[in-house]
Amino acid sequence: MRFDELDLEDEVLDGLDAMNFQETTPIQEATIPLLLQGRDLIACAQTGTGKTAAYLLPLINRLSRGEFEDDRVNAVIMAPTRELAIQIEQQVEGFSYFLPISSVAIYGGTDGIAWEQQCRGLSLGADIVIATPGRLLSLINLKHADLSAVSYFVLDEADRMLDMGFLDDIKQIYRELPEHCQTLMFSATMPPKIKQLAKTILKDPVEVEIAISRPPETILQSAYICYESQKLPILEQLFTATPPKRSIIFSSSKLKVKELTSIIRRMGIKVAEMHSDLEQTKREQVMRDFKSGAIDLLVATDIVARGIDIDNIRVVINYDIPRDPEDYVHRIGRTARGNNDQGLAITFVSEAEQYEFSKIEDFLRKPIYKLAVPAELGPVPGYNPKVRSARSSGGRRSARSGSAPKHSRGPASPKGGSRPEAQDRGKRRYDRNRSSKQTKH
């Protein structure tokens, strides 16, 4: 469906045309007509499916028609992270370019000047407030935020906000809203706690679920089955052969992100870390440097796995297995975006992580290509996730020790190839991906 087939005002369509938005995505086609009717809604759709435009366009359309009060906060959009709040505000500015619509992003980790700007935006009655739960609740408690005129309330990435412990904050904020407020929930997953929250805050909602997508075929997925102690040597060999450009390493802990960043920096690579311990100004500077090319490699927690648009990422490396298969999709989905028609995803799988990795393969409905660990790094564990999961609680030796069973020779090479041949193929695929992107850019 084309956007001009929807009941949108000309000024809204002009903004879409200026941004080169022509065709709706499935989530937009399914939800925008319902939202224009004023219905409450709960939608299950992954990041990258166009859900931000799905809830912003009906709101901007209503504002363009003068349906809301002047000089009041008319809409509140909740986001789990500062980065996502900033990104949503940028999209508001783009879609409403030809309209006199005001917006303000409210989030923590800022200085006194930013705090004053946020308070002033609320007091002047910004049409759209995009906020993280903790900061907005603080402003409400300090009597800086009046939400009594809000007619449009959105929870974006609701599952992530609940995972981060924002449930009580969301409920308190919701109690500040008037009864007539149209309420929307967008979530990448639909666990029981999300359904329970929907029953609490939504009125006769419409449910929309877009099938969970798999990574595009343009992403070449591969994995190393190894011991924990072999991950860093494998990484060093990869970067020695081909220094990283426009690459991201994901790790599941802030401590490991900091350690990896320090080690990689000593390799002479332009690297930066991204995690929740950084001050907001530092996080924004890191993202600007990475997007501009001043930084070649970003080492990050899952804070950048969802909701952050960074085009032209060439390689994503999962140093640790993500917490669930959908997070894996979000992580590797940072590549093969924008002008980048192909991408490479490499995952390091320790012995203790094999079962979780097999869940990813089950989710993808296909095996992920196993690269052979360089022979000089020693023997590796065999890939047998079902056996490992059964023994994981039986007190076996930690994979961190680097010890290997005497007869464990690692994953078999594909199609009967020898170990050196498989390793050469893996390196050639890695190098081909890198060299082709360097030629393009």
- For the chain, which ranges sit under pLDDT 50? 388-427, 429-430, 433-441
Q: What is the pTM of this model?
A: 0.60
Number of H helices, E strands in the chain: 16, 14
Q: 287, 82 in Cβ contact below 8 A?
A: no
State the pLDDT at residue 341.
Answer: 67
Which residue type does 224 have? Answer: Y
Tokens for 66, please give them: 């003068």
pLDDT recorded at residue 263 = 95
Q: What one-character-per-residue DSSP string does 308-363 give?
A: ---TTB-EEEESS--SSHHHHHHHHTTBS-TT---EEEEEEE-GGGHHHHHHHHHH
Quick one: the chain helix, strand, coil %, rounded to 5?
A: 45, 15, 40
pLDDT of residue 439: 45
Report d(CA 276, CA 283) in Å as an integer. Answer: 9
Q: Are 68 and 151 in contact (CB under 8 A)?
A: yes
Count other Cβ atoms within 10 Å, centred on residue 219.
Answer: 20
Measured CA distances, 407 to 354, 379, 382 (Å): 18, 9, 9
Distance CA 206, CA 43 (A): 8
- Give residue 393's pLDDT: 40
Residue ranges and CATH numbers for the domains of the chain are 3-209 (3.40.50.300), 219-440 (3.40.50.300)
> What pLDDT, on a 0 to 100 scale, did the predictor assign at position 407?
35
What's the pLDDT at 305?
Answer: 63
pLDDT in tens, 269-322: 999 998 878 887 888 899 889 988 899 999 998 876 665 567 678 899 999 998
Give the bridge partners for 347, in sequence order.
223, 318
Q: How far apart are CA 103 and CA 397, in angstroms?
A: 55
HSE value, Cβ hemisphere, 13 Å, CA-based, for 117: 11
Tokens representing 292 are: 């501009």
For residue 291, give the H/E element and its range.
Answer: helix 280-292
374: phi then psi, degrees, rounded to nearest 5: -50, 135
Q: Dihedral through CA 194, CA 23, CA 128, CA 30, nearest 10? A: -30
Q: Which pLDDT value is given to residue 401?
A: 36
